Amino acid sequence: MKLDPVSLRLFVAVMEEGTIAAAAQREHIAPAAASRRISELEGVLDTMLFERSNRGTRSTPAAHALLGLARNVLYGLDDIAEQMAGFGAGLRGHVRVFANISAITQFLPDELRSFMAAAPMVQVHLQERISTAIARAVADSTADIGILNAGDYGESLSFLPYRSDELVLLVPRGHALARRRRVRFREALAYEFVGAHPGSAINALLHRLASEAGQPLRLRIQVSAYDAMALMVAAGLGIGVLPRLSARLYVSSLGIRTVSLDEAWASRQLVLAVRSIEALSPAARMLVDHLADASRRGGQTSPAGPRTGGNE
């Protein structure tokens, strides 16, 4: 059996793009040649990967099983090339990092800046995702490193402690809770909320806690970005819940207030996730060590400027 990386890379592109035509365009190959390569790959594997019809192609269970295997092979080949090239001029490579919005707005800007200054030939590709998607991405080799909320994601991953953050209540100026220093979540449930994205960790947490308290979570509006939530709160459309350092981005400019939540769950742990420490490339291991060292130092970092993300 002979498998070539060009066909495997094309196969992965078809799975990710959804059509052979789109994959061919991405891989700079003629559609007819791409279709022929996929057929040859099916012949080598003696397995049908795609069901073809007048309406297009549909991936088979075998294709989904092959996807993770193909990604691992391709990433392994990339790592070989990067590690060998690194001998010529210091450490080289690229590291794929998926992180949630809490990590991105509170901690990563300064930490990635200092890492890239120390390792200028390492490229870091950062993408924002919600925590469940981050765990999946690390497990299936789409990401080298994940930064997400601590929890049980049903994946076989290794976790390292990273940072702690604190959820606070965001209220408009003049609100009944604005002069309070601390408030219980049960008290906050008396008011309407500006909610986070339905897939976010904060949204799921607040719905669960409201249910446990036997009260409804009254969502007047839901948004997909922290800046949008702050603007809606400032407009008086409800109160919100954000990490403290993220909320600080908007307090002075919008004239809103933060109130501490008198709840144990308001303190959260962010973790680093990898498939295994031993399997990391040298560049990825260097970044993990850098982030872990930053968490041990526990230095206070300045949050990043306003941005459009918002899922956790």
- Render pLDDT for 173-218 as a digit per residue (tens, 0 to 9): 999 999 999 999 999 999 999 998 877 888 889 999 999 999 999 9
Q: What is the pLDDT of residue 199?
A: 76
> What is the helix (H) or strand (E) element at residue 168, kind and residue range?
strand 158-171
Q: What is the pLDDT of residue 239?
A: 96
Q: Work out the average pLDDT over 32-53.
A: 91
Which residue, 100, 166, 165, 167, is CA-closest to 131?
A: 100
CB-based contact 140:159 (threshold 8 Å): no
How confident is the prediction for the chain on average, in pLDDT? Answer: 87
The number of beta carbons lying within 10 Å of the beta carbon of residue 289 is 14
266: which DSSP letter? Answer: G
- Token readout for 209 is 């806690």
pLDDT (tens digit per residue) in 121-180:
888 999 999 888 999 999 998 999 999 999 888 778 999 999 999 999 999 999 999 999
Q: What is the pLDDT of residue 310?
A: 41
Give residues with Cβ within 8 angstroms of 293, minimum separation 6.
none
Q: What is the pLDDT of residue 94?
A: 86
Burial of residue 118 (number of CB atoms within 10 Å: 0-12, 13-18, 19+): exposed
Q: pLDDT grade, residue 34 (50/70/90)?
A: very high
Q: What is the pLDDT of residue 190?
A: 95
> What is the helix (H) or strand (E) element at residue 122, kind and residue range?
strand 122-128
Residue 88 has pLDDT above 50, yes or no: no
Q: Work out the average pLDDT over 43-64.
A: 88
CB-based contact 186:290 (threshold 8 Å): no
CB-based contact 245:226 (threshold 8 Å): no
- How far apart are alpha carbons 270 and 161 in whole angstroms? 7
- How far apart are alpha carbons 92 and 81 in whole angstroms? 10
